[in-house]
Structure 1
Amino acid sequence: MISELSDDLEPAPLRVVPAADAPFADVEAVFGTKGDPAHCWCQWYKIPGKDWRSVGDEGLRERLRTQLDSPESGPGLLAYDGDVPVGWCAVEPRANLVRLQQSRLIAGSTPDPDLADPGIWAVSCFVVPRAHRKRGVGKALTEAAVEFARANGARLVEGYAIDPTAHAKIPAADLFHGTVSMFVGAGFTEVARPNADRAIMQLRLDA
């Protein structure tokens, strides 16, 4: 078990574990069968744009299943409320996220541009089903992601947060990156602001 963290809004503690240690059926329960998560399976940053459409939903799901066979390099954590899986967080070496190398928004803004550096880990995605939102699941996952990255040799953890206060309304679909407040609550510092509603967040573990 990675952590057991008391949720500010929910008296029962949330349990966070490496997704590789959980039944894949629990991962499937979080990603669901509809909406963006079911058509991505946390593969967006891992597949070059020219290859994306050729993989298909089933191929994306099987890619994640295969990646979970290598728990020492991520790629994610699951949060539980009791025995119910309530959220997912992607955390793994940034070098695994090949599409970051093509992203001007991210790769052009991070103060640590060596995307092949194995000591830099990324928290790139959150999935919390609608029924379990506003209960501190993202907070618990962010804090556990730091612990998991540290235990696996990371010296720096980076996130690509949305700032919901930058505009009157941010589409819920855009919040899969996590919010600035979630990262700040886990000890991250804003190191770059590529645009008004996106911030590069970092937490150095070797300081």
Structure 2
Amino acid sequence: MTFEVRPATSFDDVCALVGPKRPDANVCWCLSYRISSKLNNELRGPARGEYVAKLMETRGPLGVLAYDGDTPVGWAAVAPRADTAFARNRKIPWIDDLPVWSLWCIRVRPGHRGNGVSHALISGAVEYAKTHGAPAIEAYPLDNKGAKVDLTMAYAGIRKNFEAAGFSYAADTTSTLSGFPRVIMRKEWQLKG
């Protein structure tokens, strides 16, 4: 299958992928690495979605969406690392001073998993970062070595999918998710200078 990946400009489509099933539910909205932990803990229920809508109005797309026809089937969060909590994360170290972008959340809608959506999202996030001047992009996936990963914690992606997209192992981290270590995978397209 082929999927069209484009910047996440539609709030309704972002909501379909990372928003709640009930308006009053308290779901992530992919904010935890985008805002301070204090603000993340303060925002509850509908306030989280309202905050995402405001961010989209002021900052533009917060990631990319994969579409099967007109139906949004996947989401990937991507932004300059300096604009995320990864800028201050002690468990996921900076490798160098290259102003990399981070790709930290991949979500595929149920019923569409196993069809290559995550691969399309990774490629789309790379292209989005490139077109916005990033010299490289990093991801912090699970190094699950083929073991089954709980889908709730698979949002970080898995190492083999990033390797398939041309990312290289860059460093270990002290971060773990669902019992698996996370590694830094990087894809560069400009020489450091």
Instruction: Please confirm whether the aligned pair reaches a TM-score higher than 0.5, indicating the same fold.
Output: yes
**Partner residue in 2 for 1:82:** 69
Matched, 1:111 2:95: yes
2:155 partner letter: F
Percent of aligned positions that are identical: 36
Shift of 1:189: 0.6
Structure 2 unaligned spans of 5+: 175-179
Per-residue CA deviation, residues 122-181 of structure 1 (Å, 9 max, x unaligned), is 101112122211111110010111111111100111111112227x54322111011111
Distance 1:91 1:185 in 2: 18
2:182 match:
198
CA contact (8 A) 2:76 2:121 kept: yes
Matches within 5 A, 1:91-110: 91-97=78-84, 99-106=85-92, 109-110=93-94
SS in 2 for 1:165: coil
Structure 1 unpaired stretches of 5+: 1-9
Q: How far has the Cα of 1:120 moved from its partner?
A: 1.5
Residue 49 of structure 1, CA deviation: 2.1
| 2:8 is the counterpart of 1:19 | yes
| Partner deviation per Cα, 1:18-51 (whole Å, 9 max, x = no partner) | 012xx3212111224249x961111101222233
Question: Does the aligned pair in 1 maintain the 2:139–2:186 contact within 8 Å?
Answer: yes
In terms of fraction of residues, the more helix-rich structure is 1
Q: What letter is aligned with 1:19?
A: A
Q: For residues 43-99 of structure 1, what are the alpha-carbon distances to aligned partners after superposition, in whole Å with 9 as ceiling and x for unaligned?
A: 10122223322111322212222222333xx420010011111010011111111x2
Q: Are the aligned partners of 1:110 and 1:192 in contact in 2 as well (CA < 8 Å)?
A: no
- Count of aligned positions: 183
- Inter-partner Cα distance in structure 1 for 2:19 and 2:32: 17
**Partner residue in 2 for 1:185:** 164
